[in-house]
Amino acid sequence: MMQMKMKMSTTCAGFLFVALMLIAASHHLVVESFAPAKVIGVARSPITLFYQEGTSSEQQMNIDTSKALHIIDSNHEAILNNPLSLPVLVDCYTNKCGPCKLIERSLEQALPKFTTSSDDNQSRPRLHFVKWDAESTDISKEFMSILREHDMTFRKLPTLLLFIDGLPVVLKSGMMSAAAIDRFLEEHLPDGELKGGERRPRVGPEGALGVSTRKMNR
């Protein structure tokens, strides 16, 4: 009889221990299920100008145009009226456009001359380069209205648009070599090269005087 009682007390103690363990485990699970989730903040990087620091503005080093900022309604004013008052070159493209992919190589070869600043601060970038996806019409309505207002609409891709003082002044459509892009920019930038190797004086924020509004190969 005593052995039976001892076995029953031992069994009860075992059941009690198991019950306490289950209660503790269930409490732990409940606490875990109501624990607040970790919120991971995503920092928004500010709009920066697309140029590279280099040893010389004449150094021909390729750049990755795929990393260029895309212009849309939420940032077009900050880009076109950037703090350095730089002209803005816009590469208009679509992902389905074959020639648009081919011109990327030409841009990567031509742009360093215009987007590179020297380490000794003797020269600064001459323009700001961005891209515009022509199929992103739902998020670039204001940008498109600027093009219509200044009669800068186009049907052919790729197209390069040059903005000076926040306004479109010239566009050129079709495939271009690096040399052709260089000539296009030197002809129309406010500080572009003149015949004889001289440069037009850089025009400040008060206006790009003497720059005509034109279309090329529309």
Condensed to tens digits (0 to 9), the pLDDT of residues 89-127 reads 999 999 999 999 999 999 999 999 999 876 555 578 999
User: How far, in Å, are 16, 17, 18, 120 from residue 5 at the CA level?
Assistant: 16, 18, 20, 94
Q: Which whole number is the average pLDDT over 206-215?
A: 42
The answer to whether 76 touches 142, Cβ cutoff 8 Å, is yes
Most confident of 23-27, 35-39, 156-160: 156-160
- CA distances from residue 207 to 57, 87, 119 in whole angstroms, order as listed: 24, 11, 28
> What does the alpha-carbon distance between residue 145 and residue 151 come to, in Å, rounded to a whole number?
10
Q: What's the pTM?
A: 0.67
Q: Please state, in angstroms and rounded to a whole number, the distance separating the CA atoms of residues 58 and 197.
A: 14
Of 111, 51, 58, 59, the C-alpha closest to 84 is 51
The closest alpha carbon to 124, from 49, 36, 199, 194, belongs to 49
Considering only CA atoms, give the Rg of the chain.
Answer: 31
Residue 56 sits at φ, ψ, to 5 deg, of -165, 145
Q: What is the mean pLDDT of residues 28-39?
A: 32
Q: Residue 151: is its pLDDT beyond 80? A: yes
pLDDT at residue 192, rounded to an integer: 77
User: Is the model's pLDDT at 204 over the cut of 70?
Assistant: no
